[in-house]
Amino acid sequence: MNYYIEVTLMENEKFSPYELWSQLYPQLHLALVEVKNADNKVNIGFSFPQYRFHQDKRVGFIGTKLRLFAESEADLKKLDIRKWLERLEDYVHITSIREVPSEIKGYAIYKRKQVKTNAQRLARHRVKRGDIGFDEALARYSQVVTTTNLPYIQMKSLTSDRPFKLFIEKQPATKSDTQVFSTYGLSSVSPVPEF
């Protein structure tokens, strides 16, 4: 990853950073959908330079900065992020395309963490199979529901209009030439530079 653009949420009285992320991230997702390949993958990855998560305190914070990384300047130009964030221009600052500094702290993977948080939803899906009733399914799934305190962005499904939490987990990594990112700019295998 040789080039990046940095997006900063500007402080304002109208929206909290949490609310701004909920407006900004769907636009970023749509922009990446436009440049995805046939496997629904993109070669642009995201990092959150101010990301903090303290497992012992069970507190997390995404921060107010986002970096979009690509191997080439042309990939970021093709994305045309300013067009996608035009309606939020009063609330975000977008830098020009820059080269990744030669001195970096290391690499990290930012990945989506999906948790099973709704026993009733899981039970309804199981009932559709037709092998057990709702009460039995609910009893089974009430044991497997998990939660997390990872930082998240509140999203709304573009297909069903249902709200969901996009939990983001950060893991240290080593440099890799793999560039396989989802249309959320996240990956479980591809690292991005940290600086």
CATH superfamily of 3-114+172-194: CRISPR-associated endoribonuclease Cas6/Csy4 (3.30.70.2540)
User: Reduced to 3 DSSP states, what percent helix, strand and coil does the chain have, rounded to the nearest 5?
Assistant: 25, 30, 45
Euclidean distance between CA atoms 157 and 51, whole angstroms: 24
pLDDT in tens, 15-67: 999 999 999 999 999 999 999 988 888 999 999 999 999 876 667 889 999 99
Euclidean distance between CA atoms 56 and 62, whole angstroms: 17
| For helices 134-141 and 119-129, angle between their N-to-C axes, nearest 10 degrees | 130
Structure token digits, residue 19: 């609310």
Domain boundaries, the chain: 3-114+172-194
Q: What is the pLDDT of residue 130?
A: 80
Specify which residues 46 forms β-bridges with: 68
Neighbours of 82 (CB within 10 A): 12
